[in-house]
Structure 1
Amino acid sequence: MSLACGLDFGTSNSTMGIATQVGGPRLLALETGKPTIPSVLFFGFEDDAIHFGRAGVAEYVSGADGRLMRSLKSVLGTSLIGDSTRVKARRYAFTEILGIFIAELKRRAETELGAPVDDVVLGRPVHFVDDDPLADMQAQGQLEDAVRAQGFRHIAFQFEPIAAALDYERQVNDEQLALIVDLGGGTSDFSLVRVSPDRARKPDRADDILATAGVHVGGTDFDRLLSMAKVMPQLGLGSPTRDGKRYLPVAPYYDLATWHRINRLYHAKPLRDLLETRNEAERPDLVAQFIALVEERQGHRLAGAVEEAKIALSDMAHYRFQFASRGASIDIAMTTEELARALDASVERIAATIGETLRRAGVGADAVDSLILTGGSTLVPAIVARLRLMFPAAAMVRTDVLGSVGLGLAMEAARRFGPPRP
């Protein structure tokens, strides 16, 4: 028996889904029972193994010697796709690295399903590359080649905003204008799409997408902003030197608050600079806690705690942030209002980009019938409040925020390829 799946190969996370005639679409458990897997590979130098997803992140965070590869999708359509990178004594082409990750997804899906997965519908952004149709076409071809090389026989594509809307589209009885609000880890993308029962049956939905726009603001930026506003001051950010002539340098705090920059602090020179900062600080006790976190390599654990606080503040007005290591202890109150203030500039950038999406389509906010929300950051109260202010008459549709694209692609796979084949 051969199965058809939907594959949402995301910049930050990936999912795979399957839809059968009974039970509707569902996402597969790709890692430790979870339907999402971070789009990450870690080449371990100590064990000569490749670790995927959360396991790869855990190796990296633990300080294991190796090479972390993430945001793999971002090389599609760029000059980097033809390059290679060295991992110990071997060079890997970026296309090969893409293939290794996709092959692992296919293997895990087939293990769970107990059958080969030969057919797949892949999600794709409306534009892999902005304002360059040739590069965009090449990007899709590069992804298709990488997927076909892993043994998929039949491959189709669907736009990610259409996939996010497919489940909702089953509920509508007439034509509607929907704004897909997709807030990811690193970017926020917006698509204005026409949905209807008749349009749902069309094999090509390109004409249903009236306009798109995006901005490089996402959930990891929200984490950093919350950390800089509330956590880093507990470690000395914003405090003066003893002579009162200047404030402590911001750069190391920015590094500690930014996930992919934390490892920069784990070297001799940054530590020497921090020791000098402590000697000059009016509050050397706070900087000493910063130094302890760096020496104990607790930066990523701290970043994870801040992310947990952001998520908690999506459900509660007050949160007690507590973090402790051998040499540092932070215990502070956080509120939804403080989170909103920290994110204010980013929320306004998102609102401006939504406005640009409407302008490109030539429609006003009052013409939008529904907002289809996908991505974990759409749960942030400041985002929800801004959207309600912009679209007071639109219905707000909460999808599976982490899996709606994968579910929609699974539905598309069932429609295109039919029931499982013997």
Structure 2
Amino acid sequence: MYTQSARACGIDFGTSNSTAGWLRPGTSPLLALEDGKATLPSVVFFNAEEDSTCFGRHALAEYLDGYEGRLMRSLKSLLGSSLIDGQTEVLGRALPFRELLARFIGELKLRAEQSADRDFDTAVFGRPVHFVDDNPAADRQAEETLAATARAVGFREVSFQFEPIAAAFHYEQDIDREELVLIADIGGGTSDFSLVRLSPERARRAERQDDLLANAGVHVGGTDFDKYLSLRGVMPLLGLGSRLRNNSEVPSSYFFNLATWHTINFNYTRKIWMELQEVYRDAREQDKLDRLLRVIEHREGHWLALQVEQAKIALSDAESTTMALDRIREGLSHVVDRAVFEDATALLVDQVEHTVAGLLADAGLAAGKIDTVFFTGGSSGVPQLRRRIAALLPAARAVEGDLFGSIGAGLAVEAMRRYGPD
């Protein structure tokens, strides 16, 4: 379809995974970023033993191999939060969160350029419909922070496109008739939706504003599903909900921090360790607190979060899954049922369903008018989520895109449209 290479690339900086796309003749728009794969997990590991920094799968592998150091994940969650102007301690020195963000975006740019065998100074970045719900000022600040970070690492010109619209442009490359499509992008940090008219003829237009009927989003994503599954299905094994001798509950903050990717390290301070010694002495179920103390002493929080994430993924296809928790205690395993997962995350699914219903109402469209629901995003496979969206749109056919690559590929299409060929 394309006879020339694009001048600009598309960058999908995701909460869990990131991709880069670049249109050129005769090949896939997605660039290989790690070990021949198009996705680069949005992970940084600071290896204390080798005084090195690594990214993506390599970062996760070094961490899981037991190297001492600091693992950082869900970096996108920093955007729009109060944490962005703070700092954290890494290998004995203070690391501003803005610098952490720049390190990852810079690595993403470098790998895209190495894969394409050319430099990129112009990019269309994807962004969620809302970085921050119900706070336009914080939302603007989040986009400005991402733009400033991109410029700081060498992108001279930066623009943005909503992630579900980018996915729509990718889907449009493969259709042969006009469709009214709901794009459902359920990512690691947000759930974003767009109603778009798509067709082969419309794809040739330079201006598509009239084809975009409505956008909506909510700050619910895969990491939230992980968190609530962890709190309901795993943290009680470590003492959540257990009692002290005075019959009050063990403070829940330790468990909430462990269940949330970007706050796991909050539990690793000397202050928290001393607090937990006091809690332990007063705990009625010290065997459970033993497990919590082991996780914190050996800094196994990210490992545990990965096990929860894998359990969530497994429950998309199975009614139950067994978690091997041998790092907490030798031989420890735990069965989690899909029913537990669905009960734990019901309120999250309610929020997503409400967002889709509001989108239809804002667009003034009856549900029966929607031809297709196009699912993308790594968390769009959650069965309960799909059932609830299908119930809202019973006449629409469900199409599954590249769960991790549709947005990056669509941003590459948008980059060609905005900035033209080389």
Aligned residue in 2 for 1:18: 22
Matches within 5 A, 1:211-222: 211-222=214-225
Aligned residue in 1 for 2:213: 210
Matches within 5 A, 1:287-298: 287-298=289-300
Aligned counterparts of 1:238 and 1:54: Cα–Cα separation in 2: 35
Which has the higher mean CA deviation after the structures are superposed, 138-147 or 408-417? Answer: 138-147
Contact 1:248 1:281 in 2 (8 A): yes
2:316 pairs with 1:311: no
> How far off its partner does 1:295 sit?
0.9
Say which SS state the counterpart of residue 14 (structure 1) adopts.
strand
Aligned residue in 1 for 2:185: 182
The 1:133/1:337 distance shift into structure 2, 3 A limit, reads: closer
Question: For residue 361 of structure 2, what is the amino acid of its counterpart?
Answer: R
The 1:185/1:246 distance shift into structure 2, 3 A limit, reads: same
> How far off its partner does 1:349 sit?
0.9
Normalising by the residue count of structure 1, what TM-score does the alignment of the two structures yield? Answer: 0.82
Q: Of 397, 403, 406, which aligns to 1:404?
A: 406
Say which SS state the counterpart of residue 207 (structure 2) adopts.
coil
Matches within 5 A, 1:10-409: 10-23=14-27, 25-39=28-42, 51-53=54-56, 64=69, 70-71=75-76, 74=79, 94=98, 101-117=104-120, 120-125=123-128, 147=150, 158-242=161-245, 245-325=247-327, 327=329, 330-409=332-411
The 1:202/1:136 distance shift into structure 2, 3 A limit, reads: farther
Contact 1:41 1:53 in 2 (8 A): yes
Contact 1:128 1:139 in 2 (8 A): yes
Say which SS state the counterpart of residue 402 (structure 1) adopts.
coil
Aligned counterparts of 1:133 and 1:69: Cα–Cα separation in 2: 22
The 1:227/1:89 distance shift into structure 2, 3 A limit, reads: closer
Question: For residue 71 of structure 1, what is the amino acid of its counterpart?
Answer: K
> How far off its partner does 1:282 sit?
2.5
Which has the higher mean CA deviation after the structures are superposed, 271-280 or 211-220? Answer: 271-280
Aligned counterparts of 1:397 and 1:405: Cα–Cα separation in 2: 15
2:1 pairs with 1:7: no
Aligned counterparts of 1:98 and 1:295: Cα–Cα separation in 2: 27
The 1:259/1:329 distance shift into structure 2, 3 A limit, reads: farther
> How far off its partner does 1:406 sit?
0.6
> How far off its partner does 1:402 sit?
1.1
Which has the higher mean CA deviation after the structures are superposed, 253-262 or 126-135? Answer: 126-135
Aligned counterparts of 2:164 and 2:354: Cα–Cα separation in 1: 19
1:80-130 CA-partner distances (Å, limit 9, x unpaired): 99x797999999895x77665444333222222333445544434556788
Unmatched 5+ stretches in structure 2: none
> How far off its partner does 1:270 sit?
1.9
Aligned counterparts of 1:113 and 1:67: Cα–Cα separation in 2: 27
Aligned counterparts of 1:11 and 1:318: Cα–Cα separation in 2: 26
Which has the higher mean CA deviation after the structures are superposed, 84-93 or 309-318? Answer: 84-93
Aligned counterparts of 1:130 and 1:286: Cα–Cα separation in 2: 36
Which has the higher mean CA deviation after the structures are superposed, 185-194 or 38-47? Answer: 38-47
In the alignment of these two chains, the number of paired residues is: 414
> How far off its partner does 1:344 sit?
0.7
> How far off its partner does 1:258 sit?
1.6
Aligned counterparts of 1:212 and 1:368: Cα–Cα separation in 2: 15
Contact 1:2 1:116 in 2 (8 A): no
Which has the higher mean CA deviation after the structures are superposed, 136-145 or 113-122? Answer: 136-145
The 1:206/1:144 distance shift into structure 2, 3 A limit, reads: farther
The 1:129/1:319 distance shift into structure 2, 3 A limit, reads: closer
Aligned counterparts of 1:93 and 1:259: Cα–Cα separation in 2: 15
Contact 2:49 2:68 in 1 (8 A): no
Contact 2:9 2:411 in 1 (8 A): yes
Question: For residue 170 of structure 1, what is the amino acid of its counterpart?
Answer: Q
1:320-342 CA-partner distances (Å, limit 9, x unpaired): 11111265653111122221111
The 1:285/1:119 distance shift into structure 2, 3 A limit, reads: closer
Task: Report sequence identity in percent.
Answer: 46
Which has the higher mean CA deviation after the structures are superposed, 64-73 or 357-366? Answer: 64-73
Contact 1:39 1:72 in 2 (8 A): no
Aligned counterparts of 1:345 and 1:396: Cα–Cα separation in 2: 23
Aligned counterparts of 1:336 and 1:268: Cα–Cα separation in 2: 37
Aligned counterparts of 1:132 and 1:256: Cα–Cα separation in 2: 27
Normalising by the residue count of structure 2, what TM-score does the alignment of the two structures yield? Answer: 0.82
